């Protein structure tokens, strides 16, 4: 009996170690707001990725790299980096970490830019 329980424990640990990461849908909208007139949607980008893998959205000189991780409690940990590229030079404009619920929109505002990201479990 003791050997059977030990074997079952090893099988459970092995199955968890090789579990496939969750497939996620990262929907990002980048908008520029103007003092006069309404906002301009610069990019709408749905990207499929795995939990813990980076998704990158580019629009002009801006690069938005976001890594969503599905946590054990069912929430999403978003780690993002917004970079502005000028030739070989890259300036990091922001690098927030946000914890959200699945399907909840997280918004980052930097000056006139608004970046909204919603992460869902892919179907």
Q: pLDDT of 23-71, one tens digit each?
A: 999 999 999 988 887 889 999 999 999 999 999 999 999 999 999 999 9
CA nearest 116: which of 33, 8, 38, 3?
Answer: 33
Domain ranges of the chain: 21-121
Q: pLDDT of 76-107, one tens digit each?
A: 999 999 999 888 899 999 999 999 999 999 99
Tell me the pLDDT band of 14, cut-offs 50, 70 and 90.
Answer: very low
Q: Is the pLDDT of residue 6 over 60?
A: no
For residue 27, the model assigns a pLDDT of 95
- Quick check: helix, strand or coil at residue 37? coil
* CATH code that applies to domain 21-121: 2.60.40
Tokens of 84: 């502005």
Tell me the pLDDT band of 75, cut-offs 50, 70 and 90.
Answer: very high
Name the pTM for this structure.
Answer: 0.77
């Amino acid at each position: 009996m003791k050997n059977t329980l030990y074997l079952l424990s090893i099988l459970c640990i092995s199955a968890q170690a090789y579990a496939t990461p969750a497939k996620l849908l990262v929907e990002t909208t980048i908008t520029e707001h103007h003092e006069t007139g309404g906002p301009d949607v610069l990019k709408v980008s749905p990207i499929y990725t795995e939990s813990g893998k980076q998704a990158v959205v580019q629009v002009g000189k801006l690069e938005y790299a976001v890594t969503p991780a599905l946590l054990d409690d069912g929430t999403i940990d978003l780690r993002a980096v917004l970079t502005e590229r000028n030739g070989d030079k890259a300036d990091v404009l922001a690098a927030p970490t946000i914890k959200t619920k699945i399907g909840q929109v997280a918004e980052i505002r930097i000056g006139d830019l608004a970046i909204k990201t919603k992460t869902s479990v892919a179907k």
